[in-house]
């Protein structure tokens, strides 16, 4: 799986974030007021409906949403696979960042991302009472609510495309659907009454808007050098960034509206900018390289020719690292694998060679990629002391797995 960056720091956090995102989406103005009506339409609410049947109907409705979103996730992952490493180059990352900014503007009320009214009315007639109807309504339910779900869904799909993982993509989208379905379950199973709609739902949309701006900076971080240099490891940096984000929230990033007067609009814009910078600082701090105590500095040679010449002269095995400045999993290798003490010690007997594939206009790099069949990034090629390829790895590798591979090379 080539999923890199922040999500790869912990899949538990990835799924938790998407689940919470789904739940927050259900609190937006396009979804929240319609939940009790939708539950009644597929027959999961009423005095004569047994709780078990109500829960089953709600489960099928949420399953329908999950099936639709999972299909979109698989499609995005397959699109990412088709583009290969192009999904991580500046010409693709920049449009993805622009997409996140556009979705953020949608959340702030600049425009609505909605289906044509005629198609929306047609979809609203799909389904009906009963199990089949509940599932069919779920298939179109998330699409009908596109003005609020669309920006969040598009943002998740954009991320999934960069991972190129079908399993991760489909499961993340199902998790998102489960988050959206929490209130449907609550009403169907326990007949709870929801709080009244209000201005607080606009605050939920503002939270999404800030998160999407942070996501845009996260993707730009890999192609814009000043952004790549932001962030320091350690709690002082993270606490300071959280404090900055809190200042932005206090200024009005969440509770004020761009539909208010000019003074409040300026205050909200300033709050959004400060909160976005603070939250991006937190992410940059988490992603900053953290070397274990006493970890030796790895001595990398630049260029295939020089590196292999040194390896042959010293009769040592070599490790070739094909990387690029814009490659997310490549940065993750530096962050999570090469920085480990055990890995650094094991690499001490290898000649370490970096092959910079950031640009495709260097004939020597192009030839090296073809020679070693390094068509995806990252690619690690382990060469034995005899000059023969012992192992090739074309994905992010955990420290434990790399240690096993290195131990088998003489």
Asked if residue 305 and residue 189 are part of one domain, the reply reads: no
pLDDT value of position 375: 79
Q: Classify residue 358: in a domain, yes or no.
A: yes
pLDDT, tens digit (0-9, with 9 covering 90-100), for 92-147: 678 878 877 887 888 787 766 554 555 445 544 444 556 777 787 777 766 655 55
Asked if residue 315 and residue 189 are part of one domain, the reply reads: no
15-35 average pLDDT score: 78
Q: Classify residue 295: in a domain, yes or no.
A: no
pLDDT value of position 330: 82
pLDDT value of position 73: 78
pLDDT value of position 199: 72
Q: Domain tally for the chain? A: 2
Q: Classify residue 93: in a domain, yes or no.
A: yes
pLDDT value of position 225: 76
State how far the Cα of 248 lies from the Cα of 106, in Å rounded to an integer.
20
pLDDT value of position 224: 80
pLDDT value of position 275: 96
State how far the Cα of 273 lies from the Cα of 61, in Å rounded to an integer.
38
- Report CA-CA distances (Å) from 406 to 31, 155, 293: 53, 38, 22
Asked if residue 313 and residue 193 are part of one domain, the reply reads: no
Angle at 340 between CA 2 and CA 333, to 5 degrees: 20
Q: pTM of the full predicted structure? A: 0.59
CATH of the domain at 332: 3.40.30.10
pLDDT value of position 148: 59
Asked if residue 305 and residue 173 are part of one domain, the reply reads: no
Most confident of 94-108, 208-222, 345-359: 345-359
Q: Classify residue 224: in a domain, yes or no.
A: no
User: What residues contact 91, with CB distance under 8 A and at least 6 apart?
Assistant: none
244-266 average pLDDT score: 92
Q: Classify residue 189: in a domain, yes or no.
A: yes
pLDDT, tens digit (0-9, with 9 covering 90-100), for 147-181: 556 667 776 777 777 666 788 788 888 898 888 88
- Of 198, 231, 261, the last residue of a domain is 198
Asked if residue 192 and residue 305 are part of one domain, the reply reads: no
State how far the Cα of 285 lies from the Cα of 233, in Å rounded to an integer.
5
Asked if residue 331 and residue 192 are part of one domain, the reply reads: no
pLDDT value of position 63: 86
Q: Classify residue 379: in a domain, yes or no.
A: yes
pLDDT, tens digit (0-9, with 9 covering 90-100), for 46-95: 556 677 777 888 888 888 888 888 887 787 777 655 444 544 567 767 88
pLDDT value of position 4: 42
pLDDT value of position 173: 87
User: What residues contact 170, with CB distance under 8 A and at least 6 apart?
Assistant: 70, 71, 73, 74, 77
pLDDT at 186 over 90: no
Angle at 96 between CA 95 and CA 99, to 5 degrees: 85
State how far the Cα of 355 lies from the Cα of 304, in Å rounded to an integer.
6
- Of 164, 198, 232, the last residue of a domain is 198
Can you give the residue range of the structural domain that contains 311? 300-407
Q: Classify residue 400: in a domain, yes or no.
A: yes
Q: Classify residue 381: in a domain, yes or no.
A: yes
- Of 181, 198, 215, the last residue of a domain is 198
pLDDT at 25 over 70: yes
């Amino acid at each position: 799986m080539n999923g890199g960056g922040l999500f790869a720091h912990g899949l538990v956090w990835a799924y938790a974030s998407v689940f919470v995102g789904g739940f927050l989406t259900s609190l937006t103005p396009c979804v929240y007021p319609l939940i009790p009506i939708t539950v009644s339409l597929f027959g999961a609410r009423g005095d004569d409906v047994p709780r078990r049947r109500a829960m089953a109907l709600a489960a099928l409705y949420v399953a329908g949403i999950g099936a639709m979103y999972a299909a979109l996730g698989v499609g995005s992952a397959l699109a990412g696979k088709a583009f290969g490493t192009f999904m991580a180059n500046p010409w693709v990352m920049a449009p993805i960042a622009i997409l996140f900014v556009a979705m953020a503007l949608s959340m702030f009320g600049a425009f609505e991302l909605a289906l044509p009214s005629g198609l929306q009315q047609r979809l609203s007639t799909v389904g009906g009472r009963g199990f089949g109807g509940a599932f069919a309504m779920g298939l179109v339910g998330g699409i009908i609510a596109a003005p609020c779900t669309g920006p969040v869904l598009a943002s998740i799909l954009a991320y999934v495309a960069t991972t190129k993982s079908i399993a991760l993509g489909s499961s993340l989208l199902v998790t998102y659907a489960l988050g959206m379905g929490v209130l449907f379950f609550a009403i169907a199973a326990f007949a709870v009454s929801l709080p009244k709609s209000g201005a607080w739902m606009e605050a939920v949309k503002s939270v999404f808007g800030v998160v999407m701006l942070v996501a845009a900076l996260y993707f730009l971080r890999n192609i814009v050098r000043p952004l790549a240099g932001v962030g320091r490891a350690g709690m002082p940096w993270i606490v300071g960034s959280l404090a900055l984000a809190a200042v932005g929230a206090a200024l009005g990033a969440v509770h004020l509206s761009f539909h208010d007067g000019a003074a409040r609009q300026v205050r909200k814009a300033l709050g959004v900018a400060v909160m976005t910078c603070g939250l991006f600082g937190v992410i940059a701090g988490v992603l900053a390289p953290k070397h274990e105590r006493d970890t030796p500095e790895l001595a990398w040679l630049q260029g295939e020719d020089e590196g292999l010449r040194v390896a042959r002269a010293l009769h040592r095995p070599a490790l070739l690292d094909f990387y690029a400045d814009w490659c997310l999993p490549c940065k993750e290798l530096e962050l999570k694998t090469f920085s480990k003490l055990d890995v650094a010690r094991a690499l001490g007997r290898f000649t370490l060679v970096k092959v910079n594939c950031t640009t495709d206009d260097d004939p020597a790099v192009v030839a090296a990629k073809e020679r070693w069949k390094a068509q995806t990034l990252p690619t690690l090629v382990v060469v034995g002391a005899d000059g023969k390829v012992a192992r090739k790895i074309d994905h992010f590798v955990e420290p434990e797995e790399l240690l096993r591979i290195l131990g088998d090379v003489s």
